[in-house]
Amino acid sequence: MAENITATSTARSSAVMAAGTLASRLLGVVRTALLAVAIGSTGRVTDLFSAANVLPNFIYLMVAGGVFNAVLVPQIIKASKRPDRGRDFVSRILTLSLVFLAVITLLVTLAAPLILPLVTRFDPEQLPLATTFAYWLFPQIFFYGAYAVIGQILNANARFGAYMWAPVLNNIVSIAGLLLFIAVIGREEAQGFSPENWSGTATLILAGSTTLGIAAQALILLVPLKRLGLGLRPSLKLRGAGLGQAAKVARWTIITMLVGNGSYLVYTNVATAASRARASYLAMDPPQVIAGHLNLETASMLYIIPHSVITLSVATVLFNHMSHAFAEKDLAAVRRTLSGGLRSIGVATVFAAAVLVVLAGPISMWFSGGSNASAAVQAQVLVVLAVSAPFLSATFLMNRAFYANDDAKTPLIMQLILSAFGIGLALAASMLPANRIVLGLAVAYSLGNVAAVVLSHIFLTRKLGSYGAARTVDVHLRLAVAALGSAAAGAAVLALLGGYSADGYAWQSMASSVVVIAACGLVMAAVYYVGLRLLKVRELDTFLAPLLARVRRGA
C-alpha cells in the first residue's frame, strides 16, 4: 500500500512539474525564435549577445550552483524534522546565500571587461559591444542563485510546482521585450545589425528585458515561500546551525561545478572563434553562412527539452525518495528507484531523440530568422547533439543517487575525468576550419554524454552493487529498435513533403514546416507506440499511467 501511495505521489508531483516545465520550454522556444527574428541566428551581433547572456548562468553554476541544486535538499529535509521545522537552519542558509550572491554578482559585473577577453575570442571591434551587454546581463547571477536556493527550500518541503512554473514568467517578460525590440528597433533581416550601427536603446530593450525576466522568475517564488509558514527571518549567526555537514559536502560540489562549468567556458571560447571568423565568410562571393555560438546554444536548448520536461520533473521527486531511502539505510529502495526511473524516462527521451534527428530541418526553420541557409546550418548542429539526448538524461538521474547520500566527492572524480575528455575534444575542434568548429563541438558534447553514462555506471555499481543495469540496457535497446522504425517512417513522410530538396515544401515557410512537423510527428508517434507494444516494453504503461489518469479524470 505504501509503495502505491508513493508511486501515486511521484506521478502527481512529476505531472505538475512536467506541465510547468513544458509550458516554460514552449515559451522558451517562442522566445528563441523571436530572438532569431530580432538579431538573427548567424548575424554579426548575434553571438556577442549570446555569449554575454549565457555567462551569468555558468558563472553562477561555477561558484554556487552545485551547492544550491544538489546539496541543500538533503540538509533541509533533515532540518525539517527538527521541532522548529527547520526554520532556524533555513533562515541562516537563505541569508548567507543571498549575501554571498550579492557580493559575487557585484564583483563579476565590475570585472566584465576583464572576463570577456578571457572566455571569448572576439576581436577588438566586437569586444566593446559584448562588454556593454555583459554589464546589463551579469546581474542575473544574483537572481539565478536566489531562484535556485528558494526553489530548493520549496522542493525540500514538497512544494514542487512553483519552482517549475516560475520560468514561465521569465519567458513572458523576455518575449514582451523582444516584441518591443522588433517594433521599436527593427529586425535583423531589414537592419543588418553590426557593432557599428547598434544603439544604446537597442541594448536597453534587449539586454534589460532579458535580465528583468530572470529577476521576475526569482522574485515570484517569494509568494510560495511565505506560504510555507516557516517564519523565516534574516540571520547571519552561523554557529550552531548544523551547517557542518552541508559545508563538507559543499566543498566537493563547489570544486565539481568549477571543473564542469570551467570546461564549458573552454567550449564557449572555442565557439566564439567561429563567431570571430563569421564576417570574413559573409564577405565571400557568394556569402557563406557558418554556425556560431548561438547555433550551439539553440541546438542545446532544443535537444535538452525532453530532459527538462521529463527527466528533471521525475528526477526532482526521485531525488527526495532516494534521500529518504539513504537516510533509512534502505539501499534496496535506492536501487529500485534508480532503475525504475532510468527505464521510465527512456521511453520519452529515446523517442524525442529520433524526432529531433529526423525533423531537425523543419524545426530549425523557426530559429533561422527567415533564412533557409541559417536553418540548414542550425539543423546540422541539432542532429549531432540530438543523438545523445537519452545519455544526458540517464547521467543526470544516475548522479542524483550520489548527491542523495551526501556524496559529492564521487561526482567530482567523475567530472574531472569527463572534463579532461571534453576539453581535449574541444581543443581538437578548435583546429578545424571555422565553418566546422561548432559541429566539432557538438560531436564533443555527444561523445561526452555517452562517456558520462559509462563512467556513472562504473561508480554506481561500486556504491550500490547491482542496481538493474542489465535490465535497463535491455529496455533501452528495445526502445532504440522501436525508435529506428519510427525514424524510418518519419524520414519517408519527410521525403514525400520535400524535406530533402532545397526548394521542397518543407522549406517554403515557417507555416509549411509546422505542417511537416505535425504530419511526420504523428506518424512517428504511431509507429513508435506499435513498436513498443510488439517489443513488449512494459515501461510504456508506467510512463503513460499518470497521463491517462488525468485524461480519465477530465472525462
| CA distances to 332, 346, 351 from 339, in Å | 11, 11, 19
Rounded Cα–Cα distance for residues 39 and 37 (Å): 6
Which single residue is written with the C-alpha cell 535497463?
Answer: 472
This prediction has a pTM of 0.80
Q: What is the pLDDT at residue 190?
A: 79
CB atoms within 10 A of CB 3: 9
Alpha-carbon span 409 to 412, nearest angstrom: 5
At 94-108, the pLDDT tens digits run 888 888 899 999 999
Q: What is the distance of C-alpha 397 from the center of its chain?
A: 14
Residues of the chain with pLDDT under 70: 1-18, 64-74, 77-81, 84-86, 158, 160, 231, 235-253, 256, 316, 545-555
> CA 265 to CA 121: how far, in whole Å?
11
Could you identify the residue written with the cell 524525442?
A: 352
Cell of 233: 527571518
Q: Residue 393 and residue 398: Cα distance in Å, rounded?
A: 9
Give me the long-range contacts of 450-454 (CB less than 8 A, separation at least 24).
Answer: 450/388, 450/391, 451/418, 451/421, 452/391, 452/392, 452/395, 452/414, 452/418, 453/391, 453/394, 453/395, 453/398
Query: Measuring CA to CA, which residue among 293, 395, 310 is closest to residue 348?
Result: 310
Of 129, 173, 170, 176, residue with least CA distance to 146: 170
Angle at 543 between CA 541 and CA 546, to 5 degrees: 95
Which residues does 82 contact at the CB level (< 8 Å), separation at least 6? 88, 89
Tell me the C-alpha distance between 285 and 62, whole Å. Answer: 43
| 210: nearest Cα among 26, 407, 34 | 34
Residue 35's nearest CA partner among 169, 178, 176 is 178
pLDDT at 8: 47
pLDDT at 428: 95
Domain ranges of the chain: 2-545
Q: What is the pLDDT of residue 127?
A: 94
pLDDT at 24: 82
Q: Number of helices (H) and strands (E), helices first, in the chain?
A: 25, 0
- The continuous run of DSSP H or E covering 306 comes out as helix 305-306
Query: Cell 531523440 appears where?
Result: 353
Amino acid of residue 392: L
Q: Which of 305, 388, 356, 389 is nearest to 491 (CA)?
A: 356
Cis-peptide, bond into residue 286, ω within 30° of zero: yes
Name every residue whose Cβ is closer than 8 Å to that of residue 205 and which is 6 or more positions away in sequence: 177, 180, 181, 184, 185
State the cell numbers at 407: 556524496
Q: How far is CA 274 from the centre of its chain?
A: 23
Q: Which residues contact 332 (CB under 8 A, 6 or more apart)?
A: none
